[in-house]
């Protein structure tokens, strides 16, 4: 059996975790597989509406 490496893209930000006393990464939006990612589609979406309205 052969294995392949797949990369995924996500938009994230760090938020302080008071229990751990350190930052924790929060995924804001998962864009899916890097090999299927459409950068032009993202540019159009960002130009048309603020990220806060994406419903994530």
Averages of pLDDT over runs of 10 residues in the chain (56 residues) are 90 90 90 88 71 57
Q: What is the pTM of this model?
A: 0.58
pLDDT confidence of residue 2: 87
pLDDT confidence of residue 43: 74
* Structure-block tokens of residue 30: 């998962």
For 4, 26, 27, 42, the CA distances from 13, given in Å and listed in that order, are: 28, 5, 7, 18
Alpha carbon distance 32, 21 (integer Å):
30
pLDDT confidence of residue 50: 64
Alpha carbon distance 39, 2 (integer Å):
29
pLDDT confidence of residue 21: 94
Q: Which of 23, 17, 28 is nearest to 56 (CA)?
A: 28
């Amino acid at each position: 059996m052969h294995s392949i490496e797949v990369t995924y893209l996500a938009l994230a930000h760090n938020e302080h975790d008071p229990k751990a006393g350190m930052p924790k990464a929060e995924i804001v939006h998962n864009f899916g597989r890097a090999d299927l990612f459409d950068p032009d589609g993202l540019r159009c979406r960002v130009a048309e509406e603020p990220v806060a309205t994406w419903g994530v």
